[in-house]
Structures are given as structure tokens and as C-alpha cells.
């Protein structure tokens, strides 16, 4: 009897611990309150990606840059105002992060089918998943229940988002600071199989570093002069910039990483073996990436009575 009670108490504790780990998010939160949420967001993302394939990449990055600053709370979406110094003009975001208008469009469609129910932060998480799927990548179950912040944190955006000059140990510690493992970091970096970067983000790597294929460096230099042209774009994956695949990792093995930070993942260091695994096994990469996106989406959500469901993603209610 005593033993049975002990066991029951233990099981109850384990369930409590599990719900803590899940951060109170739930895949079924909107099942009855907004049953058409998924189809609405998916159609809007597919339409945006059909208009411009790169938008899929931009929406994935938007979720990353939201989650790394005060958690996944839609804080990146807030415009500057008298009361708010927004994250949009922080160094890593200014003239770089895009997709705000697509989120506005989706939000207004979602408000149209179920007003005041779905947070902007959840819409960003869902749009990121649908973007990956639209470009040929894996799918996963998105958890819901992140409420929207009342404010933004520009200082946090400047300090917590990893710059493209990061070393491997820097990347590991910045992800670790958000509760993400090195394995998650290496899998999530595979998002650089889609999208574009500006010359200013990789100039030093293509001109001044030796761990880069010289033919590749020369071809990228053609559109990224030694001085000027800071905003000129190059694909992060030179092979298939609008397809979500393993080419990011094969590029690293061929010393064709665009950013210094990319090539750090295959530079005779501790990340090499995981990069090699992914370059040889899309199934493993896809399932690790999906799991890591769920982990990233769980970073410090506002739940319960914290935060709010914004009406307009750009301003607190
Ligand atoms: C590991 C550390 C990371 C660093 C240092 C990094 C850095 C960068 C930089 C510098 C750019 C180009 C920005 C520009 O020049 O305008 C970029 C683009 C991008 N990043 Fe990352 N990133 C990292 C991780 C991630 C993660 C975790 C994701 C998503 C899961 C992600 C998704 C993207 C995407 C999709 C783009 C292209 C966006 C577009 O074309 O609009 N990155 N990243
Ligand atoms: C959901 O969408 C379907 C078809 O797109 C529509 O028939 C249905 O009425 C919608 N349900 C709600 C609750 O909006
Ligand atoms: C700024 O905050 C004050 C005090 O909370 C509030 O009255 C005002 O409406 C806010 N202004 C904006 C633009 O949000
Ligand atoms: C953001 O970019 C704009 C346009 O290039 C520039 O004028 C502004 O100074 C930048 N903002 C910050 C905070 O650096
Ligand atoms: C902003 O982000 C920094 C770095 O993560 C953090 O230390 C600080 O507490 C945050 N500020 C607010 C007001 O959330
Ligand atoms: C490359 O290195 C040289 C010598 O240190 C420096 O003067 C130059 O500014 C660097 N160029 C770039 C693009 O990093
Ligand atoms: C660099 O890449 C080119 C073209 O992909 C390849 O032919 C060449 O062998 C590579 N060079 C080195 C040194 O690996
Ligand atoms: C890795 O080590 C090998 C053998 O020592 C060396 O030939 C190669 O240049 C190194 N590669 C990098 C990226 O440092």
C-alpha cells in the first residue's frame, strides 16, 4: 500500500515535471477556438512563397530572431514608438530581417476568422514551420500558447543574437544561454540552406580568410566588392537557395560556407562529425531540425496572464 502510494506520487511528480518542460504550450490550444488557423496560415505562407521564394527563408529567420530575444513573444514585431525602442532597428535586424508585412497580412486574416484569440508569436511559429514545408523541408507539430509581449528589448537583440563573426565556442555558448544544445545549434544552422545574406555579413570571410574554397570566394566577390555594395545579396546555399535540403552541410565540407560562422561548424573542430552526418543523411537532419525548431519555439514563452493577444502585431493593445 505504502509502496503503491509512493509510486503514484512519483508518477504525479513526473507528469508535473514534464508539463514544466513543455512550458505550458499545447498543440491543441486552438482546436476549438480557431479550427481553421492552420489552413489559413498555410495558404497565406504558400501564397507569399509563390510570390517570392526567399520569403520562406525570411519567415524562418523571423521566428529565430523573435525567440532569442526575451523568448518567443512577438517582441520583434513591435514598431518603434514613444514608449518602445523596437528590436527592428537592432544591429542584427536593421535592413536585414524581413517578413513583417506578411505577418500583418496573416494576422488580419486570422483576426477575421477568430478575433482576439491567436497571438502574433504563435502565428510567427506557425509561419516558420509552413515556410520550411513550402520549400521542401520537414514538418513538425507546432505547440501554441505563446502570448505577446507588451514591450521590446533592443539591447537584448544586440547582445543575444549571434553575429556572423562568431567562433564555434561563441555559437555554442549563445545557444546554450537559451537552453539549446550544441546539437540543436548545428541542426538549426541548417536553416542556412535557404535565403540570402548581405555582403557586409561575409566580406571578411571571402577576402581575408583561408578556410574557403578559392573558386567559390572569387565567384562571391564578383557581387561583393572589397569596399561598397554592403547590401548586395548572395545565397547562403550556393547550390539550391530556395530548397530546404542538406546542401548547407555539403557546402561546409567543400569549404563553401558563406558566413565565417557557417564555416566554423566544419573547421577541424568538434562540430565536424555532426556536419558530416547531416551531409550524408537527410532523414536524420530533417528529424533533428524539426526537434530543434520545437525546442527553439519553447524558449521562455509568456503564458497564463503574462502578456496579451495583440490585435495588431506592431503595437501593444
Ligand atoms: C548559428 C548562428 C547564426 C548566425 C551567426 C546567423 C547569422 C545570419 C546572418 C548574418 C544572416 C544574413 C543576414 C543579412 O546579411 O542580412 C542570416 C540569414 C538567415 N538566417 Fe541565420 N544565423 C544563425 C542561425 C540561424 C538560425 C538558428 C536560423 C533559423 C532556424 C537562421 C535562419 C536564417 C535564414 C533563413 C536566413 C536568410 C534570411 C533571408 O533570406 O531573409 N539562422 N543568418
Ligand atoms: C473553416 O473553413 C472551411 C472551409 O475552408 C469552412 O467551410 C468552415 O466554415 C470554416 N470554419 C470556421 C469555424 O471558420
Ligand atoms: C505610452 O505609455 C503611456 C503610459 O502608459 C500611455 O498613456 C500612452 O498611450 C503610450 N503611448 C503609446 C504611443 O503607446
Ligand atoms: C537602421 O538603418 C537605417 C537605414 O540604413 C539607418 O538610417 C539607421 O541609422 C539604422 N538604425 C540604427 C539604430 O542603427
Ligand atoms: C533584455 O535582454 C537582456 C539580455 O538577454 C536581459 O538581460 C534583460 O533583462 C532584458 N531586458 C528586459 C527589459 O527584458
Ligand atoms: C582584411 O585584412 C586587412 C589586413 O588586416 C585589413 O586591412 C582589411 O580591412 C581586411 N578586409 C576585410 C574586408 O576584412
Ligand atoms: C573548389 O571548388 C571547385 C568548384 O567547386 C573545385 O573544382 C575545386 O577543386 C575546389 N578547390 C579546392 C582547393 O578544393
Ligand atoms: C584541417 O586539418 C587538415 C590536416 O591537418 C588540414 O590539411 C586542413 O587544412 C585543415 N582544415 C581546416 C579548415 O583548418
Ramachandran bin of 269, using left for φ above 0, alpha for ψ from -120 to 50, beta for the remaining angles: beta
Residue 5 has pLDDT above 70, yes or no: no
Protein residue whose Cα sits closest to atom 27 of ligand 1: 188
Atom 1 of ligand 8 has which residue's CA nearest to it?
Answer: 268
Q: Which H/E stretch holds residue 235?
A: strand 233-235
What distance, in Å, lies between the first and last C-alpha atoms of the chain?
Answer: 54
Residue 154: give the domain boundaries: 25-161
270 is a domain residue:
yes
The whole-chain average pLDDT of the chain stands at 94
Q: Which atom of ligand 8 is nearest to the CA of 266?
A: 13
Q: Is residue 6 part of a domain?
A: no
Q: What is the pLDDT averaged over residues 33-46?
A: 98
Asked, for residue 272, whether it belongs to a domain, the answer is yes
| 192 among known catalytic residues | no
Do the domain assignments include residue 17?
Answer: no
CATH of the domain at 39: 1.10.520.10
Contact 149, 301 (CB under 8 A): no
Q: Residues near ligand 6 with C-beta < 6 Å?
A: 203-204, 207-208, 226
pLDDT at residue 24, as a whole number: 84
Out of 65, 192, 205, 260, the active site residue is: 65
Tell me the CATH number at 234: 1.10.420.10
pLDDT digits (tens, 9 = 90+) for 280-293: 999 999 999 999 99
The answer to whether residues 45 and 73 belong to one domain is yes
Of 122, 146, 161, which one is at a domain's C-terminal end? 161
Tally DSSP H helices, then E strands, for the chain.
Answer: 14, 2
Looking at all shown ligands, the one closest to residue 238's CA atom is 7
Asked whether the predicted pLDDT for residue 33 surpasses 90, the reply is yes
213 lines ligand 7 (CB under 6 A): yes
Whole-prediction pTM:
0.93
Amino acid at each position: 500500500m505504502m509502496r503503491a502510494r509512493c509510486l503514484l506520487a512519483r508518477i504525479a511528480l513526473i507528469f508535473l515535471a514534464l508539463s514544466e518542460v513543455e512550458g505550458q504550450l499545447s498543440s491543441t490550444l486552438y482546436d476549438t477556438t480557431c479550427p481553421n488557423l492552420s489552413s489559413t496560415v498555410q495558404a497565406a505562407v504558400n501564397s507569399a512563397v509563390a510570390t517570392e521564394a526567399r520569403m520562406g527563408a525570411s519567415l524562418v529567420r523571423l521566428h529565430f530572431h523573435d525567440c532569442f530575444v526575451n523568448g518567443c513573444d512577438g517582441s520583434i514585431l513591435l514598431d518603434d514608438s514613444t514608449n518602445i525602442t523596437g528590436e527592428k532597428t537592432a544591429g542584427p535586424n536593421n535592413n536585414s530581417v524581413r517578413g513583417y508585412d506578411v505577418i500583418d497580412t496573416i494576422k488580419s486574416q486570422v483576426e477575421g476568422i477568430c478575433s482576439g484569440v491567436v497571438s502574433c508569436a504563435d502565428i510567427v511559429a506557425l509561419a516558420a514551420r509552413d515556410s520550411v514545408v513550402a520549400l521542401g523541408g520537414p514538418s513538425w507539430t507546432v505547440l501554441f500558447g505563446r502570448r505577446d509581449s507588451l514591450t521590446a528589448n533592443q539591447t537584448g537583440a544586440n547582445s543575444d543574437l549571434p553575429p556572423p563573426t562568431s567562433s564555434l565556442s561563441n555559437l555554442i555558448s549563445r545557444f546554450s544561454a537559451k537552453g539549446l544544445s550544441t546539437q540543436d545549434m548545428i541542426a538549426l544552422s541548417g536553416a542556412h540552406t535557404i535565403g540570402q545574406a548581405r555582403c557586409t555579413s561575409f566580406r571578411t570571410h571571402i577576402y581575408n580568410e583561408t578556410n574557403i574554397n578559392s573558386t567559390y570566394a572569387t565567384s562571391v566577390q564578383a557581387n561583393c566588392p572589397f569596399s561598397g555594395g554592403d547590401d548586395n545579396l548572395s545565397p547562403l546555399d550556393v547550390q539550391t537557395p530556395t530548397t530546404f535540403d542538406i546542401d548547407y552541410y555539403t557546402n561546409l565540407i567543400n569549404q563553401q560556407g558563406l558566413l565565417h560562422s557557417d564555416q566554423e561548424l566544419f573547421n577541424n573542430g568538434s562540430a565536424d562529425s555532426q556536419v558530416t552526418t547531416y551531409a550524408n543523411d537527410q532523414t536524420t537532419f530533417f528529424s533533428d531540425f524539426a526537434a530543434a525548431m520545437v525546442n527553439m519555439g519553447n524558449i521562455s514563452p509568456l503564458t497564463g496572464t503574462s502578456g496579451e493577444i495583440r490585435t495588431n502585431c506592431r503595437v501593444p493593445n
